[in-house]
Amino acid sequence: MSAKVFNDAKSAIAGVKDGMTFLVGGFGLCGIPENCIEALRDSGVKNLTCVSNNAGVDDFGLGLLLQTRQIKKMMSSYVGENATFEKQYMSGELDLEFCPQGTLAERLRAGGAGIPGFYTPTGVGTKIAEGKEVRTFDGREYVLEKGITGDFAFVKAWKGDKFGNLIFRKTARNFNPMIATAGKITVAEVEELVEIGTLDPDQIHTPGVYVQRIFVGQNHEKRIEHRTVRKGQ
């Protein structure tokens, strides 16, 4: 069990290679595995496919990998906060597969559960359905969507134990539980690592059976994409 524990992000992502597919947790800048992303940037691997709800911002999160042009393709539901992403996509440097947010979450959940595909009404009659099988059930059309898996999955949790059981904090839970199940190798960075048996089993969001590597992340930066404040009275 202790073999799952690594000293830092660099050692925890050992084995990453050019052309791999990476599943990256988080929503906006909330719950993103920033240490894993920085280690991936520093590794120098390229031609990557990254699956994530969004692409971070220009100087943080997956935006760091866009700056260095290590990402070849993004699969996302929202990319509106990243000017670098926009420029690379509009110039043809970056491939993009847009996916409705709920469908993206279900594709990841399906991939982690070993389900190769499912039908959903979301996207029928739009560009999302172009080139995909559409079938009718009980008089309503549904489009076939495929489950998603990756070579590596990066997630961030609030607490974890040495077996890899994870607890996510509030909205930082977001896409992390689905992504944790869908990677061949799942790497979890946590704010606090505790001994096995310390966590309340009823509070565990991701069982350790899904996690192959875990480490305590450093320099957890609580960034806000858009800060909105009121003027003083």
Question: Is domain 2-116+148-216 given the CATH code 3.30.930.10 in the classification?
Answer: no
Spans of all domains in the chain? 2-116+148-216
How far is 192 from 214, CA to CA, in rounded Å? 11
Residues 153-211 pLDDT 10s: 999 999 999 999 999 999 999 999 999 999 999 999 999 999 999 999 999 999 999 99
The rounded distance, in Å, linking the Cα atoms of 220 and 29 is 11
pLDDT at 230: 80
Beta bridge partners of 216: 190
Q: How many residues does the chain have?
A: 233
pLDDT tier, 96 (very low <50, low <70, confident <90, very high otherwise): very high
More confident residue, 135 or 229: 135
Whether the predicted model's global pTM rises above the 0.95 cut:
no
**Beta bridge partner(s), residue 140:** 137
Retrieve residue 29's tokens. 């800048």
pLDDT band at 79, cuts 50/70/90?
confident
Q: Dihedral (C-alpha) 124, 93, 178, 31: value to the nearest 10 degrees?
A: -120
- What is the token pair recorded at 79? 């990319």
How far is it, in rounded angstroms, from Cα 11 to Cα 200? 29
31: which 2 tokens?
A: 């719950």
